[in-house]
Amino acid sequence: MGAVDDAGGGGEVDVFDAGRCADGYALGLAVGRRFGEAIRSRMRRDAMLWRQLLPFAATAPGRPLVDALRDANHTRKEILPFITNEDHHHDEEEADDDCSDVLLVSESTAIAGHKEDANVALLGHTYVVKATSPDGSSSFTAYTYAGELPTCAFGFNSNGVVGCQCHSGTSISNRFQVLTGLVRHSLSTLSRRRAARSSPAPSPGTSCRATSSKRRASTTPSHRCSSFYGSISSVCAFLEQRVSSPDMSVGHSYNLMDVRRRRIVNVETASGRRFSVREAGAAPFFHANMYRHLQVKQVHDENSMARERRAAELSPDSKEKALSLLGDTADGKYPIYMTGPTLYTLCTVLVDLDEETMTIYKGNPMNRDAVRVFRML
């Protein structure tokens, strides 16, 4: 499970197998020892860290927020909404990320294409981490940003559960005084845990808010759910319990996949106990960095809207068309495939549920230059 083929990339994507890890601390220590220099190099080059995050952390409102986020294992994306334009200037050169996804599940094709975009400072500062449970019964493989938890990008586990995520458009109500939530990395944990029991799923394409105590009581813990929809129910139960504080600020789009059951869903989250689940089908579903099916007031991002318009024009209804779309540069101002000067496509990943593979491409995915092929089962 989780075997990797070197597709001729000559080490373009560094893969570290940490082996059996007693706990998260042991894994973090092993990763730090292996990639310490890459982590330090990223921190030295991170303009956002030095120009925005560290100055904000030294302010009176910043100190308690950073302490709470540190205790909850959160990262920069959860801090940035609290930095006002009056506090610091938000220059284009400090843009953080812009990802794009294509989901398609038809009779002949079941794929998810994900383009991992980030600030140019992250070039050369990513790697793949594989870790195995202490008893050797399960493992996960994750594409990881240097210095961050596995993962804020994409990965899979040995039970055939796959995940990738994007930052979603900022909800108008996502800005609050205090942030204490555990959403992003806890969702990553939910998608990686081993399961043993199933439970009902939410209806595809529906928005979810607070539900009855009967449903809450009947939902099984994530580590006891074997079916894909059991995992989705656990995600919804988690959101119901955690994304319920008026002090919480979150905005992400998660793609969760079950290789064995050949299913893909997109989950959008926002503050105030709001989230929406949509199942992928035969009609191609494209996601940039704005909410697509969660009904919230949001900031309209011209970059995302331009990419959505281009996706509608190209209609990526096959694996080949999906890769071509993710490599599209027709719009000079808002290309889907990015080459700087600020935002850069680090890599493109294609998950093929029928072939049970995750393929990482370097450069423009139109060129089909695969550097790693992971066998997920």
The 3-class secondary structure across 177-204, one letter per residue, is CCCCCCHHHHHHHHHHCCCCCCCCCCCC
Q: Using DSSP, how many helices (H) and how many strands (E) does the chain show?
A: 10, 16
This prediction's pTM: 0.79
Q: Note whether 9 and 371 are within 8 A (CB).
A: yes
**Residue 330 confidence (pLDDT) above 80:** yes
Question: Residue 269: what pLDDT?
Answer: 84
Residue 265, strand partner residues? 256, 279
Which of 137-146, 271-280, 347-356 is least confident?
Answer: 271-280
Mean pLDDT of 342-358: 96
Distance of CA 94 to CAs 147, 285, 337, Å? 19, 29, 18
**Segment 219-232, tens digit of pLDDT:** 222 333 334 445 55
Structural domain boundaries of the chain?
97-125+155-375
- Looking at every residue in the chain, the average pLDDT score rounds to 77
**Segment 255-304, tens digit of pLDDT:** 999 999 999 999 888 877 788 889 999 999 999 999 999 998 888 889 99
Question: Residue 175: what pLDDT?
Answer: 36
Q: Which class would CATH give 97-125+155-375?
A: alpha beta
pLDDT, greater one: 313 or 250: 313
Question: Residue 306: what pLDDT?
Answer: 95
Residue 269, strand partner residues? 252, 275
Report the C-alpha gap between 4 and 333 in whole angstroms.
37
71 pLDDT band, cuts 50/70/90, is low
Which of 17-31, 65-79, 115-129 is least confident?
Answer: 65-79
Mean pLDDT of 44-73: 81
**Residue 48 confidence (pLDDT) above 90:** no
The answer, yes or no, to whether the previous bond of 64 is cis (omega within 30 of 0) is: no
Which of 67-71, 79-83, 107-111 is least confident?
Answer: 79-83
Q: Note whether 146 and 125 are within 8 A (CB).
A: yes
Mean pLDDT of 318-332: 97
Mean pLDDT of 24-51: 92
